[in-house]
């Protein structure tokens, strides 16, 4: 380590950044602050770490969460002490529920400045409670401490984040000097024991895990073998997991009913994948699964209520739930077996152990019905007179390229995409913050996903979500991969217009509709983004095509009326369900 860092704070911070890099971290998000100065300077000086600097800790944390999801690597967010740390909590909670390796690295006051009224000092230890996989409260750097303690603790922290799938908290105390000024410390003595570590380029502690192997039980194989009308239900899974599950469905000739987060919903290519399963479950013919006698569930976090009702059906038995996460992933409490294992291992093992089946009337029934829904969707799209949320979802799903990512904002947009996306476009990836389904941090997470994956990202979100995360539009200016933000502006909380509260609340507009009268053209100008405001389906199609070629951030604003949406959505769902029920048996 040449030259030696100027003081012991910077020595520890330099070791910390190097060990994080060796453990697989490639991106550090920094929110400016004084107490965290050694961490910020060390990250900037490392040379191999990608830095993101953003003044809003809440948005920055969501951005790094998106980076971790897009890249598949752990990502770090650095803050100073005080409320800066508390602002990380929403992203930490989302990372906990979606099992994302987000590392919160927070600077803190030393012991003598805790609990004594010192400025910007609060109890940060275990602030995130049970939402983190591990929490380390590091002492202030001191010449009596062995640096190996720091390295080993960091290795344990990253291991917990990656292999226990979730956030961790590293709380680090610093005394003065916080600036990189010279202050004597025994560098040679402290660093002498790390000579081999410095040369070998590997972490201080390397963790080895056993190979993942899944052996299906005799009970599981027997139930799968006896099922005549089995179904596979797929929630939020990775692309690799989705591919293995689709192959299992083809092998067993079972319909694969897919949530929009599965990545199998749009551009469906596998024959067994039933792209419009969500709508089929709204029909009389497929109510309660249309006669399903065995349900194999992969993943969870389903977007729409119909899938959850399907899971809760008392007519389907047995039911097996597969998820790599520990704990319960069964909100309807109907799973007879719970398998905690890698879905790829489970799908591959079942495919190897069970004989292949010929396509049956059972699978054809689902395929034909889904095709009828697709045809009815195409007819309604062709005859659409105005831009409504279903029309926007359909047009957007047909405009994306195979390498694209569609990031879906919560509340109304993700539900519209789940129901009304076309299956005839290119297959593309889908992402969303569905751990807690909040509307916060949507812009920041989507831009982080683009940075981490290095893929073009289209974010579809509502007006309240954009207002909630408006300053994260600044992150679009430094994104490597193009990001376009499509905001559906229905002047308030459009989702509530579809709920019973719209018909019963005396003060609906004031406390649920919350009209704001805001338009976003000025926001695009403020943050240097290209802007379009299409008002027809033809204009929207042109805007989507032009924005796909853009080299900088784009904001497309689509104005709709909540009253129109409240009428259109039930009409579309009913029409699609009728198309299924009118089909010959």
Query: pLDDT tens digit string along 458-504?
Result: 999 999 999 999 999 999 988 888 999 999 999 999 999 888 888 88
Average pLDDT over residues 403-421: 95
- Name, in order, each residue with C-beta under 8 angstroms of 478's C-beta and a sequence gap of 6 or more: 52
**Distance, CA of 409 to CA of 387 (rounded, Å):** 18
Return the number of other C-beta atoms located less than 10 Å from residue 525's C-beta: 11
**Distance, CA of 206 to CA of 155 (rounded, Å):** 8
Average pLDDT over residues 404-422: 96
Domain 8-200: CATH class, spelled out: alpha beta
DSSP summary character for residue 357: -
The residue extents of the domains of the chain are 8-200, 219-364, 384-581
pLDDT at 536 over 90: yes
DSSP summary character for residue 212: P
Q: Do domains 8-200 and 219-364 have the same CATH topology?
A: yes
Q: HEC string of 30-99? A: ECCCCCCHHHHHHHHHHCCCEEEECCCHHHHHHHHHHHHHHHCCCEEEEECCCHHHHCCHHHHHHHHHHC
CB-side neighbour CA atoms (13 Å) of 5: 26
Q: Which two tokens stand for residue 219?
A: 């009970």
Do 553 and 484 meet the contact criterion of CB atoms below 8 Å apart? Answer: yes
- Name, in order, each residue with C-beta under 8 angstroms of 456's C-beta and a sequence gap of 6 or more: 401, 403, 404, 405, 450, 481, 482, 483, 484, 548
Q: Is the pTM of this model over 0.85?
A: yes
Burial class of residue 312, CB neighbours in 10 A (0-12, 13-18, 19+): middle
Do 362 and 509 meet the contact criterion of CB atoms below 8 Å apart? Answer: no
> By percentage, how much of the chain surpasses pLDDT 70?
100
> By percentage, how much of the chain surpasses pLDDT 90?
82
**Distance, CA of 486 to CA of 235 (rounded, Å):** 25
Average pLDDT over residues 128-147: 96
Do 61 and 135 meet the contact criterion of CB atoms below 8 Å apart? Answer: no
Return the number of other C-beta atoms located less than 10 Å from residue 196's C-beta: 8
pLDDT digit string (tens) for 280-333?
999 999 988 889 999 999 998 899 889 998 988 878 878 999 998 887 878 888
DSSP letters, 92-157, are HHHHHHHT--EEEEEEE--GGGSSS--TT----TTTTGGGSSEEEEEPPP-TTS-HHHHHHHHHHH
pLDDT digit string (tens) for 329-381?
788 888 889 999 999 999 999 999 999 999 999 999 999 999 999 999 999 99
**pLDDT value at position 211?**
80
Burial class of residue 222, CB neighbours in 10 A (0-12, 13-18, 19+): exposed
- Name, in order, each residue with C-beta under 8 angstroms of 385's C-beta and a sequence gap of 6 or more: none
Report, at the CATH architecture level, how domain 384-581 is classified.
3-Layer(aba) Sandwich (3.40)
pLDDT digit string (tens) for 173-225?
999 999 999 999 999 999 999 999 999 999 999 998 878 889 999 999 999 99
**Distance, CA of 274 to CA of 289 (rounded, Å):** 12
**pLDDT value at position 585?**
62
3-state secondary structure of 284: coil
Average pLDDT over residues 505-519: 90
**Distance, CA of 329 to CA of 337 (rounded, Å):** 11
Q: What number does CATH give the domain 219-364?
A: 3.40.50.1220
**Distance, CA of 22 to CA of 62 (rounded, Å):** 23
pLDDT digit string (tens) for 216-248?
999 999 999 999 999 999 999 999 999 999 999
Q: For residue 306, what are the CA distances in angstroms to 256, 277, 309?
A: 15, 9, 5
Question: Taking all residues of the chain, what is their mean pLDDT, rounded to a whole number?
Answer: 94
């Amino acid at each position: 380590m040449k030259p030696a860092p100027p003081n012991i704070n910077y020595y520890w911070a330099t070791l910390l950044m190097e060990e994080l890099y060796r453990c697989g971290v490639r991106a550090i998000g920094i929110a400016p602050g004084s107490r965290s100065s050694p961490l910020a300077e060390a990250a900037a000086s490392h040379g191999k770490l990608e830095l993101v600097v953003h003044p809003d800790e809440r948005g920055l944390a969501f951005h790094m969460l998106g980076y971790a999801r897009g890249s598949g690597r752990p990502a770090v967010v650095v803050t100073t002490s005080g409320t800066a740390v508390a602002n990380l909590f929403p992203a930490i909670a989302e990372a906990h529920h979606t099992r994302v390796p987000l590392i919160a690295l927070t600077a803190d006051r030393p012991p003598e400045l805790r609990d004594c009224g010192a400025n910007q000092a609060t109890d940060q230890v275990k602030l995130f409670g049970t939402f983190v996989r591990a929490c380390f409260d590091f002492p202030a750097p001191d010449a009596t401490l062995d640096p190996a303690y720091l390295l080993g603790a960091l290795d344990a922290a990253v291991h917990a984040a990656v292999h226990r799938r979730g956030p961790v908290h590293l709380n680090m105390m610093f005394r003065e000097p916080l600036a990189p000024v010279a202050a004597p410390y025994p560098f040679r003595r402290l660093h002498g024991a790390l000579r081999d570590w410095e040369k070998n380029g590997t972490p201080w502690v390397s963790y080895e895990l056993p190979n993942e192997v899944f052996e299906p039980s005799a009970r599981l194989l027997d139930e799968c073998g006896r099922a005549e009308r089995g179904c596979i239900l797929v929630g939020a899974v990775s692309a690799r997991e989705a591919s293995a599950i689709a192959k299992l469905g083809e092998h067993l000739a079972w319909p694969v009913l897919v949530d929009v987060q599965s990545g199998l919903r749009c551009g469906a290519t596998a024959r067994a994948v039933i792209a419009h399963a969500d709508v089929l479950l709204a029909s009389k013919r497929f109510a309660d699964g249309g006669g399903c006698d065995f349900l194999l569930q992969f993943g969870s976090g389903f977007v729409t209520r119909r899938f959850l009702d399907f899971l809760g059906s008392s007519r389907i038995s047995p039911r097996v739930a597969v998820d790599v996460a520990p704990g319960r992933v069964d909100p309807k409490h109907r799973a007879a077996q719970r398998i905690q294992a890698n879905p790829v291992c489970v799908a591959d093992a079942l495919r190897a152990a069970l004989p292949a089946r010929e396509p049956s009337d059972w699978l054809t029934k689902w395929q034909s019905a889904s095709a009828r829904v697709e045809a009815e969707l195409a007819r309604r799209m062709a005859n659409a007179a105005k831009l409504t949320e279903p029309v926007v979802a359909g047009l957007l799903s047909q405009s994306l390229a195979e390498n694209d990512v569609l990031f879906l904002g919560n509340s109304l947009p993700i539900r519209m995409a789940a129901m009304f996306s076309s299956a005839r476009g290119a297959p593309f990836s889908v992402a969303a913050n569905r751990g807690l389904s909040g509307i916060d941090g949507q812009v920041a997470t989507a831009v982080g996903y683009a940075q981490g994956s290095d893929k073009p990202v289209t974010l579809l979100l509502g007006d309240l979500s954009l207002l909630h995360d408006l300053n994260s539009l600044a992150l679009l200016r430094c994104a490597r991969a193009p990001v376009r933000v499509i905001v559906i502006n229905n002047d308030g909380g459009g989702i509530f217009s579809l709920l019973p509260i719209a018909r019963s609340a005396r003060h609906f507009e004031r406390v649920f509709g919350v009209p704001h009268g805001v338009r976003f053209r000025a926001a695009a100008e403020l943050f240097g983004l290209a802007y379009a405001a299409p008002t027809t389906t033809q204009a929207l199609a042109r805007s989507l095509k032009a924005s796909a070629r853009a080299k900088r951030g784009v904001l497309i604003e689509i104005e709709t009326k909540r009253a129109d949406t409240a009428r259109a959505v039930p009409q579309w769902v009913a029409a699609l369900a009728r198309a299924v029920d009118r089909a010959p048996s």
